[in-house]
Amino acid sequence: LSGGLRSPRRWPVPYRRFDYRPKTDPYCQARYTFCPTGSAIPVMKEEDVIEVYRLQAPVWEFKYGDLLGHLKIMHDAVGFKSSLTGKNYTMEWYELFQLGNCTFPHLRPGMDAPFWCNQGAACFYEGIDDAHWKANGTLVLVTTISGTMFNEMAQWVKHDNETGIYYETWTVQASPDKKSTVWFDSYECSKFILRTYQKLADLGAVFKKIQTNYTSIILFSGEPIYLGNETSIFGPQGNKTLAAAIRDFYSPFKPHQSVREFLMDLFKIIDRVILNHQFYLFYNLEYWFLPMKSPYLKIIYEEVPLPVGSKASFGV
């Protein structure tokens, strides 16, 4: 950890926003196309009354059914239905290159620094796939809004999408206790939905009183140690020892070609994370060392209440 220092920053470290979305590198390829039927968000008539639906289904439900639902690994979206046109719409936020690429880098020959294929973005398209959301998940009305509110939300979505461009898989906190310190917060599909609901509440929407739960993947760590950015670690004047340690840590997290290779890499991951209490986190384009501690990793399905609107708000 030579060259590292304890950061004086406040916790959790704020998610960094950017002025523009960079072009994607041709090296980064998704197994499934991002937002294949996406369209522009329509402008609604001011007098329209639009139903808002909470949508949730197991991750990769289209491929594995409810398998990941048993582990409470869920994907979230929001649906809209116009009373004037009768048209339905779905809006969600997810990875451009699938979850694995957003969570771990590629170690490319001839490149010292790990190479990240990591972007996330909003997707809006006409229609709600009722079977997808109802079969193993949730499709439930949560509020109604006016056309004016919808249009204002659409402007917010555009800004949110242009400035929040990187997917962050992990929530990192000090312990399983609900009041424990959160070092880093995730930035993924459920957080986009929560931000959308909050924006609608700020605009005046009144939400139904129903229970809403969301998935979080949590790493447990002592206070993180700031290490530096790509240039300071992997550049010409960088820290070769630290650079080698980071590359070595990420080496088992790669696509596996055989069962034997998978088992060998799994042993390496257990050795680094659990036996040696190590994890290198890339967050806001900076590297951090996490001194891992028990229980190391946990997937939770925790209730987050819908936001409360004002008495003068529009809604149900």
In tens, the pLDDT along 216-267 reads 999 999 999 999 999 999 999 999 999 999 999 999 987 666 778 878 888 8
SS3 247: helix
Nearest to 49 by CA among 233, 181, 205, 198: 205
**Distance (Å, rounded) from C-alpha 145 to C-alpha 122?**
20
| Alpha helices, H only, 166-254 | 189-203, 230-234, 240-250
Edge-to-edge strand order for the sheet containing 120-126?
Answer: 120-126, 88-95, 74-82, 49-58, 138-146
Residue type, 86: G
> Is 282 part of any domain?
yes
The verdict on whether omega for the bond into residue 36 sits within 30 degrees of 0, i.e. cis, is no
> Is 311 part of any domain?
no
> Is 109 part of any domain?
yes
Please indicate whether residue 189 is annotated as part of the active site: yes
> Is 3 part of any domain?
no
Residue among 35, 132, 189, 277 flagged as catalytic: 189
Asked if pLDDT for residue 183 goes beyond 90, the answer is yes
Percentage of residues in the chain having pLDDT higher than 70: 93
Residue 303: pLDDT band with limits 50, 70, 90:
very high
- Average pLDDT over the chain, rounded to an integer: 92
DSSP β-ladder status, 170-173 and 213-221: parallel
> Is 23 part of any domain?
no
Q: List residues bridging with 123 in a β-sheet.
A: 92
pLDDT score of 311: 47
What is the chain's alpha carbon radius of gyration, rounded to the nearest angstrom? 21
Q: List residues bridging with 143 in a β-sheet.
A: 52
Domain count, the chain: 1
pLDDT score of 310: 57
> Is 144 part of any domain?
yes
Please indicate whether residue 75 is annotated as part of the active site: yes
pLDDT score of 64: 67
Neighbours of 142 (CB within 10 A): 23
Mean of the pLDDT values across residues 162-189?
Answer: 96
Question: Which helix (H) or strand (E) covers residue 315, if one does?
Answer: strand 314-315
Mean of the pLDDT values across residues 94-101?
Answer: 92
Asked if pLDDT for residue 6 goes beyond 70, the answer is no
Residue 70: pLDDT band with limits 50, 70, 90:
confident
Q: What are φ and ψ of residue 174, in 5° steps?
A: -75, -30
Structural domain including 292 reads 49-303
> Is 14 part of any domain?
no
> Is 9 part of any domain?
no
Residue among 75, 102, 117, 123 flagged as catalytic: 75
Question: Which helix (H) or strand (E) covers residue 81, if one does?
Answer: strand 74-82
Read off the pTM: 0.91
pLDDT score of 7: 52
Residue 316: pLDDT band with limits 50, 70, 90:
very low
Both tokens of 272, joined, read 């680094």
Classify residue 34 by burial, with Cβ atoms within 10 Å: 0-12, 13-18, 19+: middle
